[in-house]
Amino acid sequence: MKIYSKEELNNHSLSLTYDDLSLIPTVISEVKTRSEVNIKSKFMGIELAVPVVSSPMDSVTGITMAKELSSLGALGVVNRFGSTLNELFADDKIVEGIKAVSISLTSDEGLIEKLAASNLIICIDTANANNAYVLKKCEEIKKKYKVKVMIGNIAHGGTLRDIVNAGADAVRIGIGGGSVCTTSIQTGIGIGQISSLLDVYFARKEMKLDIELIADGGIKSPGDVAKALACGADVVMLGRMLAGTKETPGEIIKYNDQLWKKYRGSASFGVKMKGEFIEGEETMVPYKGAVKGVINAISDGLKSSMSYLNCETIDDLRKKDTFAILSTSSYLERLPKK
């Protein structure tokens, strides 16, 4: 069996995603227990206890979710839909515990000014960062305010220098990989999430660019989180893994003697207006209880992975360069059997 480096994975003939890949321990680990592992990191100037950022979807991150994630040492990006942004300010002061907020290309200048004055990270939430109007918006914000800006999404590193020149501090990587995203089906755009991430990672490295990388989409488990970080991501952005928790917007629904919550893509029919082009789906996910349980499971799984790989810190994990490409049968063999 061949053990692949990140560079070899990046040059692979096929597009790869998380299920195609496995991390391979090749040295004796000196980590006694996972409790010795430190997964703290810094992202866009914020200290994180766990390298997780929530997706600014209207069924994932409202004010309640953002505040709870902040208390857990993760980062919540408040969605830009409905009345959410209006609820951010009480008596003209930002709600406490909020660190990042998404906006659209047409967001009111007054809102942007308030967000900048509160020193919040601004996320320009679009499906395609390879767009002159997105880059212009980023450049305008960076020239006018001292504020951190993340933009997205991209699937390839070919335009990374343009994105950095526009002033972006972080970029979301992945097009079409979200579980309720139909962009790739509707448009034919996108490649596997691992290949997207590696291409941007090496573009940043080769051009020596100063920008942080967000692996956005397709992450289903703590193991996928470990793979994304090992392939160069600074943080992972989660949607479905956080969906269905108590803190997500929306009511708990009882159906067939089971509890559920709605989950939908930002370009789904429920979010967009009738007659607009739809690139997302709506579904129901089982109710999961408090988001703290999900974050704890990610933390435990990531620490366990790092203990196998003899990694005491996230920086150690990012230096790992030993991967296997799985056959379909090899992947299926690893799934729990009922």
Positions annotated as catalytic residues are: 181
Please give the Cα distance from 327 to 332 (Å, whole number). 9
Please give the Cα distance from 180 to 178 (Å, whole number). 6
Per-residue exposure over 214-242, b if at least 16 CB sit within 10 Å of its own CB, e if not: bbbbbbeebbbbbbbbbbbbbbbbbbbbb
Q: Is the dihedral of CA 205, 157, 223, 46 positive or negative?
A: positive
Integer angstrom CA distances of residue 9 from 3, 56, 110, 144, 189: 10, 30, 45, 40, 21
Residue with tokens 């799985």: 326
Residue with tokens 């994975």: 9
Please give the Cα distance from 308 to 289 (Å, whole number). 30
Of 90, 99, 105, which Cα lies nearest the Cα of 120? 99
